[in-house]
Amino acid sequence: MLKGRHLLDPRDFSLEELEEVFSLADEIIEDPKKFLHVCDGKILATLFYEPSTRTRCSFEAAMLRLGGSIIGFSEPNASSVSKGESVADTIRTIGCYADIAAMRHPKEGAPTIASMYSNIPVINAGDGSHQHPTQTLTDLLTIRKLKGHLSNLTIGCCGDLKFGRTVHSLVKALSRYNNNKFIFISPEELNIPDYVRKEILEKNNIEFREASKMEDVLGELDILYMTRVQRERFFNEDDYVRLKDSYILDKEKMKYAKDDMMVLHPLPRVNEISYEIDEDPRGCYFKQAKFGMYVRMALIAKLLGVR
Ligand code: CP
């Protein structure tokens, strides 16, 4: 039963519950008109303490396409956060006005704190370098739709694996399906954190290895998950400038990849995927962004118990 639950971590839902969300997303994709009024009279609050295009807009589009309404803020300075209001007080107040809330915050764990004080479902829309569970729902739905399965995959994660919350969440989620293995491609300074390596991969006997050159491993991959080096997470601009263009996927490199390898990216991209890849049928990142709206429609409907 998903009604009334929070989604803070990709593992908050069982595999069966995830399948419920994906099945509903399938139904919505099949016939969106059937769902035009399922959230009539309901309100989603988007509480974004950090910038966003896809997550906030897809949450808002999702609620509007279900017949509901939206309130919220897209940056903290436009709210009483700028006067020093705590996350706990903000969510207690928002709970007086809205039925469900999606929160993005630069501090790890802030949506979890909010959930402890909330009388409405709280969805983590990205917390610092920690987790981004609805991006993971998006990624899983995309893989499930375009590959047909979530098991027996070799997934390459490339770029900023240290600060990249989308990668941390995706590894957590895909580790629960059978026979998936990971290849991590990053500069040494941006390697996958120890907690992912030890607590998720080693603890669950998941096969993984690290590589420094993309060309060496591209031929093995079913999925290449590219990520941006995140300027906003660096303390030192010189380090960012030195590392930002470590990996750039272009036509030449794609010659090493399988014909059916999928290129995913949570977006936004900066330089890491050349625009020429947009024309390659293996570049699936804009389809992925669209699936993000459908899976959020399914998630909202399930957490509100309107279906
Ligand atoms: N993928 C993602 O989280 O994008 P935004 O930062 O634009 O929401």
* Ligand 1 atom at shortest distance from the alpha carbon of 57: 8
**For residues 265-273, average pLDDT:** 95
Q: Which atom of ligand 1 is nearest to the CA of 51?
A: 6
**Catalytic residue list contains 149:** no
Catalytic residue among 55, 90, 134, 136: 55
pLDDT band (50, 70, 90) for residue 99? very high
Record the tokens describing residue 35, joined without a space: 């769902």
pTM: 0.95
Q: Helices (H), strands (E): how many in the chain?
A: 10, 9
142 catalytic? Reply is: no
For 95-161, where are the alpha helices, taking DSSP H only?
110-116, 133-147
Residues forming a β-bridge with 69: 43
The token duo for 19 is 């399948």
Residue 35: phi and psi, rounded to 5, are: -110, 10
The yes-or-no verdict on residue 125 having pLDDT over 90 is yes
Residue 268 labeled ligand binder: yes
pLDDT of residue 219: 98
Question: 261, 223 in Cβ contact below 8 A?
Answer: yes
Is the pLDDT reported for residue 206 higher than 80? yes
227 annotated as belonging to a binding site for a ligand: no
Q: What is the DSSP letter of 197?
A: I
Domains of the chain, CATH where assigned: 10-131+292-304 (3.40.50.1370), 133-288 (3.40.50.1370)
Distance 167 CA to ligand 1 centre (A): 13
| pLDDT tens per residue, range 163-198 | 899 999 999 999 999 999 999 999 988 999 999 999
Average pLDDT, stretch 272-294?
98
203 labelled catalytic: no
Task: Look up residue 192 and give its DSSP letter.
Answer: P
- How many CA atoms within 13 Å lie on the side-chain side of 46? 26
Catalytic position from the list 6, 42, 54, 162: 54
d(CA 251, CA 247): 13
Q: What is the mean pLDDT of the chain?
A: 95
Interval 210-267: pLDDT, tens: 999 999 999 999 999 999 987 777 778 887 777 787 899 999 999 999 999 999 999 9
Distance (Å) of CA 126 to CA 98, 102, 203, 213: 20, 9, 25, 29
List the beta strands (DSSP E) in 169-306: 181-185, 208-211, 223-226, 262-264
Instruction: Give the residue from 303, 301, 305, 268 showing the smallest Cα distance to 66.
Output: 301
pLDDT of res. 245? 79
Strand partners, 102: 46, 123
CB 154, CB 185: distance < 8 Å: no
Provide the percentage of residues in the chain whose pLDDT is more than 70: 99
83 is annotated as contributing to ligand binding: yes
Stretch 137-154: mean pLDDT: 98
Nearest ligand 1 atom to the CA of 292 is 1
Distance between Cα 179 and ligand 1 center (Å): 29
- Note if 83 is an active site residue: yes
Single out the catalytic residue among 104, 162, 244, 265: 104
Question: What are the pLDDT digits (tens) for 54-76?
Answer: 999 999 999 999 999 999 999 99
Closest ligand 1 atom to Cα of 58: 8
Tell me how far the alpha carbon of residue 276 is from its chain's centroid. Answer: 24
Q: Cα(288) to centroid of ligand 1, in Å?
A: 12
From the CA of 36, how far away is ligand 1's center (Å)?
Answer: 25
**Residue among 6, 56, 132, 244 flagged as catalytic:** 132
Give residue 284 CA to ligand 1 midpoint distance, Å.
16
Encoding tokens for residue 204? 């669950």
For residue 243, the model assigns a pLDDT of 74
Judge contact between 193 and 162, C-beta under 8 A.
Answer: yes
Ligand 1 site residues (CB inside 6 A) read: 52-55, 126, 135, 266-268
In the residue annotation, 104 being an active-site residue is answered as yes
d(CA 20, CA 39): 18
Q: What is the pLDDT of residue 229?
A: 87
Residue 153 in contact with residue 164, Cβ under 8 Å?
A: no
Compute the average pLDDT of residues 90-119: 98
- Residue 137 is predicted with a pLDDT of 98
Q: What is the pLDDT of residue 39?
A: 98
| Among 128, 228, 202, CA closest to 169 | 128
**Residue from 112, 81, 86 nearest 9 by CA:** 112
Region 295-305: mean pLDDT is 98
List the one residue out of 108, 289, 102 whose CA is nearest residue 193.
108
Hey, which residues does 122 pair with through a beta bridge?
Answer: 101
- Please state, in angstroms and as integers, the Cα–Cα distance from residue 100 to each residue in 46, 103, 169, 172, 264, following that order: 9, 10, 22, 25, 29
